[in-house]
Amino acid sequence: MEENSMKINRYITRGISEQLSLDLQILLWNMVKDRDNQLNTDYLHIFKLQEDDNMLSITHEQEQPAYKLEYHYTNYIKNQNALPKKVYVIREDDVDAFYYVMLLPEEY
């Protein structure tokens, strides 16, 4: 399959680098990768983050086609800074490459 040889570039915005730990960035990138292994996925990934005292819940959604997967992580240690409630990952397709941008909704 030719697609695997395509270069994938990933970018994050300032908001993401300031508000999301590297661990969580990697976690979301892995969810995007797993999802985009399927055919015909939406260019927009929506992540809803909800943190409780010792649990982190992440809902991964797409609109076209409709997709929703929930993850729950226990033994989660809350950071002092609140997590963003929502994170977007957008896929941009170019002629010979495609790239992803992870951003906050207000940076869209």
Residue range 19-37, pLDDT digits in tens? 999 999 999 999 999 999 8
Q: Which residue range is the domain that position 39 belongs to?
A: 2-107
Q: For the segment 48-79, what is each residue's pLDDT rounded down to a tens digit? A: 999 988 899 999 999 999 999 999 999 988 87
- Angular region, 33: left φ>0, alpha ψ -120 to 50, beta rest: alpha
Residue 6 is part of a domain; what is its CATH number?
Answer: 3.10.450.150
5: tokens are 């040889």
CA distance 39 to 46: 18
State the SS3 of 10-23: EEECHHHHHHCCHH
Contact 47, 60 (CB under 8 A): yes
Nearest alpha-carbon partner for 28 in 49, 53, 14: 49
The total number of structural domains in the chain stands at 1
